[in-house]
A = this chain, B = another copy of it.
Amino acid sequence: MTARRRKAERPGEILEAAFEEFSKNGFAATRLDDIAARANVTKGTIYVYYSNKEVLFETMVRELMTPVIAEVEALMAMEATDAEAVLRAFMKFIYANVAADRQCLELMRLLLLESERFPHLSHEHFTQFVNPMQLKLQDCLNELADKGLIRKAPALSLTDLISGPAVALNVWRLLFPFAGAIDTDEHMEAALDLFLNGLLPRD
């Protein structure tokens, strides 16, 4: 491995190690020496690439947020012609970006955890990801309701209900990792069916 190659890879390796350590212990309880050890460097090296602990943390969290934000664009093309299709697309998107892998999981934990120290991180996440999606979903639901394709239910004004199952699944996994694994697709299909048809019998 040449020195140049190492230099190109170091920042990523350090971010990876930082993710593991920060998501295990949170910002304050994580030692830079531990991150360094996990990345197979020493603390000094970290300071070559990141000016301090806070910058390292923020960079790491932003790294987690990037792929999420990129996908929002695609969703904006959605047309409200079929209730199930719209709902399925949104829920797929939400599950994929909230409850899909450990990185999503830990992103939420970190945002919750450090919202006091890094308030602008959750604010960014809101303006770049959550809010645009909610607004688009609101539009679609309104349009579907106007066309008579869905009921004019009180839930229509609370779009967060649609993302509820994915968020709750995430929290469940974070809080109770010892409880059995839940299949993400099954969870989503169940939620979708519940939202479309409700529990009361249909004739």
Contact = CB atoms under 8 A, between A and B. Distances in A.
Interface stretch (A36-44, A48-56, A70-78, A155-163): A155-163
A25 B116 CA distance: 7
A151 B111 contact: no
B201 A195 contact: no
A72 to B, nearest CB: 16
Given A87-B199, A116-B24, A194 B150 contact: no
B113 A112 contact: yes
A153 interface: yes
Interface string A89-119: 0000000000000000000110111011100
A161 B155 contact: no
A177 B141 CA distance: 25
Given A168-B161, A175-B122, A195 B198 contact: yes
Interface residues of A, number: 63
A199 to B, nearest CB: 4
A186 interface: yes
Interface of A: 24-29, 83, 87, 108-109, 111-113, 115-117, 122-123, 125-126, 130, 148-151, 153-155, 157-158, 160-161, 163-165, 167-169, 171-172, 174-179, 182, 186-187, 189-191, 193-203
Contacts of A157: 190
Contact of A167 (B27, B117, B168, B197): B168
Contact of A199 (B112, B115, B155, B186): B155
Contacts of A200: 83, 150-151, 196-198
A115 B195 contact: no
A175 B113 contact: no
